[in-house]
Structure 1
């Protein structure tokens, strides 16, 4: 019995050490990306793999642009639509999380997440779209890493450059050119609001942009003039 407990203790120690090592690897990558732009993300790689199952030559539409070359209207629209307390919180919107927990309890499943821009960025960079408590836990740890080592300006810059905006379309520049044939710097308020409301389900809304979503975009456009961005 004592020997079995000893083996169990050593096994648990190994697991803990491996988990700590993995967190250190993630932190190193987060710190690196605080200064250098990500070439790709976990979401990009997964989407490219999906596309290449149908077409081995498929590529993603993605072009990195610096923060200054993204329309302020898009910055405000995304904050208004996705995370209106972006500048005030440290990565987690506790009121939003409480509302999400209440909706999940009503539905009896993990459906709504109450994610902030920082949480969405953590997921896009490193994780997957799966809905599980384990994935949410890792997302929370990465979110803390990002909020601790990055400025809010850097968080928004990277998010706008890696967010998915359609089938194989990633980042504000590719989205602006795909939907409007113009660079991200020249997007107007209406165009920005429309792109912002697509973020929760971009591949679906690319094909199904109906009256309800248009009405939501109009509400976002009215609110975004009050949005504070870094």
Structure 2
């Protein structure tokens, strides 16, 4: 298939276009700039006029991040006829036997959305950790896991990313989303909510998964050559 392109921000090589298969405002804030640094122009579902449907809720029905990410990417690739990027991610906590894992978003059972859901999930996580500690499982070691998948009508690729840290007992920082205010990164020595978007992307599970899947994708859709004549 051919990939639509747009003129680069500085009039240089055209950016390849890719659809982001997410309704999450937090993911959109992170993925757009990350893709731009790799020569991709991100397009949202809303920009394409893709109305949210009940079918989307049933896409993440699998027990592995890779399967869920591929299911979302293939669904929207078929729907739009375009190249699509999707991801599935979650927090795996040692004392909780790897939970919430792939069920991170709806683990608490709440039907809330956005920031309200994040707050409810974090409160639920802290309750479960206190129960675990009372049962003799005091470790707060955790890992963020992510699978990123790209799909188009003729094919698909998938890659995995991971980062480790600890779950704090109190939030720190005002950035990020989801469990970020409680997730203390070993590499950054700060929570994901305390650092800049670029600093988080450099070590995060999602940043690593997306960079890996884009690297695989480059063999199928190479970056267009800059047509601008060079002086000197």
TM-score, scaled relative to structure 1: 0.27
Structure with the larger RCO, 1 or 2 (CA within 8 Å, 6+ apart): 1
Q: Decide which structure has greater strand share.
A: 2
TM-score, scaled relative to structure 2: 0.27
Q: Decide which structure has greater helix share.
A: 1
